[in-house]
């Protein structure tokens, strides 16, 4: 356990927060720094074909130790952390959780009232932040778990496995993780992302996703002489938001319910910019949402005189369509969990992973838990035992894959 924890702590101390305004790949230098560190570690423990390409992607191979051909499995995690908060965690806390609220610092406390699932973790060792940064379990826990599993296999050659491919991607948090992924060179029959949440999560459905940028060009004059002249772009922005369904916001939805999220708004009387994300598991409802926000803009352009522009870009689609023809991949992970005493929790992802895009690029890629909770914020934490269980699951999947008939 200590080794995987120390490895994880090294990774989270490097700031790899991605930047959606950057035009480079990776979008921030810390991701290249972490990638270079991982290349050294992967070589040291004995993997082959280890490389970091010019775009920051890290690839490696662990060769088969059996004399028959079985499917080649890939394991993928991402280098970056969310831009939502400082991503350099140099002061993580480890506690034995005995119940009750957890004080992160004098300003922030994680309460059982807000996070009732804490009651299910009494007796566990938890790694938390000091309340000032992300922890980085999303997705450096996935990286640590994959490398820990590879080291175990190398040190225990009696555990049989086929060819294994490793991939670490930049900029997943800003939707670019699969953009330049070398699927052909990766050369896996299928893969798993380790980018899920609590112990047992196994996911092969995710949102269809789009980003929306709305620009409003208002008209500003002195407020003392503004009657019948001024068009306040901020008020028009409020009008747009008010015309979207109130109950279709993230804070009011769950399960398969989609939403509109006003993610950012900037501006003044003269000019405003609104950035939305649209999500839905079902393609027909996804298209309805995109059409609705376009219709709102059309209506207000008719009202105010073509002062609003809208740009909608699809980000990724529900991987279910590409996974369902290969459900044996999901069954392999599910059966392996059950053999380890892990109860599989199969549910739709209310988000996306690199696996969604990669599945549409020809690499079927369900998502597996890392063990973490409360991603993208200062309340992020991970039970240490869940990290070890994720590493053990990787090994068990590979063991069970090796038992297959000749491929």
pLDDT, one tens digit per residue, over 140-185 is 999 999 999 999 999 999 999 999 999 999 999 998 999 999 999 9
CA–CA separation, 346 and 205 (whole Å): 9
Neighbours of 48 (CB within 10 A): 10
Note the CATH architecture for domain 208-316: 2-Layer Sandwich (3.30)
Which of the following is catalytic: 80, 151, 189, 203? 80
Give the domain ranges of the chain: 2-206+318-402, 208-316
pTM of the model: 0.90
The catalytic position among 172, 173, 189, 205 is 172
Structure confidence at residue 122 (pLDDT): 98
pLDDT at residue 95 is higher than 80 = yes
Percent of the chain with pLDDT over 90: 96
Name the phi and psi angles at 394, rounded to 5. -55, -45
Tokens found for residue 327: 């459900």
The answer to whether residue 251 scores a pLDDT higher than 80 is yes
Distances (CA, A) of 399 to 54, 181, 196, 392, 404: 33, 27, 22, 10, 9
Mapped onto helix, strand or coil, the DSSP state of residue 185 is helix
pLDDT in tens, 191-235: 999 999 999 999 999 999 999 999 999 999 999 999 999 999 999
Active site residue 84: no
Is 80 among the catalytic positions? yes
Q: What does the mean pLDDT of the chain come to?
A: 96
* Residue 254 confidence (pLDDT): 94
Q: Is 393 in contact with 333 (CB distance < 8 Å)? A: yes
Confidence band, pLDDT 50/70/90 cuts, at residue 352: confident
> For tokens 């949402």, what's the residue?
289
Give me the sign of the Cα torsion angle 338, 339, 342, 347.
Answer: negative
Residue 315 neighbours by CB distance under 10 Å: 18
Q: What is the mean pLDDT of residues 393-398?
A: 98
Sheet holding 271-280, edge to edge: 259-267, 271-280, 208-217, 308-316
- What pLDDT digit, counting tens, does each position of 272-322 carry? 999 999 999 999 999 999 999 999 999 999 999 999 999 999 989 999 999
Class (C level, CATH) for 2-206+318-402: alpha beta
* Inter-helix orientation angle 29-45/2-12, to 10°: 150
- Do 2-206+318-402 and 208-316 show the same overall fold? no
């Amino acid at each position: 356990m200590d080794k995987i924890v120390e490895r994880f702590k090294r990774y989270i101390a490097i700031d790899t927060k991605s930047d959606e305004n950057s035009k480079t790949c990776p979008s921030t230098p810390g991701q290249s720094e972490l990638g270079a560190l991982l290349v050294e570690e992967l070589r040291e423990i004995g993997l082959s074909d280890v490389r970091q390409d010019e775009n920051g992607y890290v690839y490696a191979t662990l060769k088969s130790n059996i004399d028959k051909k079985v499917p080649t499995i890939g394991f993928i995690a991402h280098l970056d952390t969310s831009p939502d908060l400082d991503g350099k965690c140099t002061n993580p806390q480890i506690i034995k959780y005995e119940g009750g609220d957890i004080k992160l610092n004098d300003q922030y406390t994680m309460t059982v009232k807000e996070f009732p699932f804490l009651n299910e973790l009494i007796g566990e060792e938890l790694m938390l932040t000091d309340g000032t940064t992300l922890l980085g379990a999303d997705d450096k826990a996935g990286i640590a778990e994959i490398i820990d599993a590879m080291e175990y296999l190398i040190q225990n050659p009696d555990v049989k496995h086929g060819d294994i491919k490793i991939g670490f991607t930049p900029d997943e948090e800003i939707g670019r993780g699969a953009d330049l992924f070398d699927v052909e060179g990766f050369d896996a029959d299928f893969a798993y992302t380790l980018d899920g949440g609590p112990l047992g999560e196994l996911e092969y459905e995710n949102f269809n996703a789009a980003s929306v940028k709305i620009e409003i060009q208002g008209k500003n004059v002195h407020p003392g002489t503004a009657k019948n002249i001024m068009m306040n772009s901020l008020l028009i922005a409020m009008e747009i938001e008010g015309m979207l369904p109130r109950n279709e916001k993230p804070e009011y939805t769950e399960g398969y319910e989609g939403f509109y999220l006003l993610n950012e708004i900037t501006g003044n009387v003269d000019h405003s910019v609104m950035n939305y994300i649209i999500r839905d598991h079902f393609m027909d409802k996804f298209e309805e949402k995109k059409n609705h926000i376009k219709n709102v803009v059309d209506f207000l352009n008719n009202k105010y005189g073509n002062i609003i522009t809208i740009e909608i870009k699809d980000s990724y689609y529900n991987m279910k369509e590409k996974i369902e023809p290969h459900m044996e991949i999901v069954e392999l992970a599910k059966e392996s969990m059950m053999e380890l005493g892990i109860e599989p929790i199969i549910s739709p992802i209310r988000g996306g992973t690199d696996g969604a895009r990669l599945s549409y690029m020809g690499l079927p890629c369900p998502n597996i838990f890392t063990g973490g909770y409360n991603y993208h914020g200062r309340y992020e934490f991970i039970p240490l035992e869940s990290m070890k269980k994720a590493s053990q699951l990787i090994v068990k999947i590979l063991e069970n894959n090796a038992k297959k008939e000749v491929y």
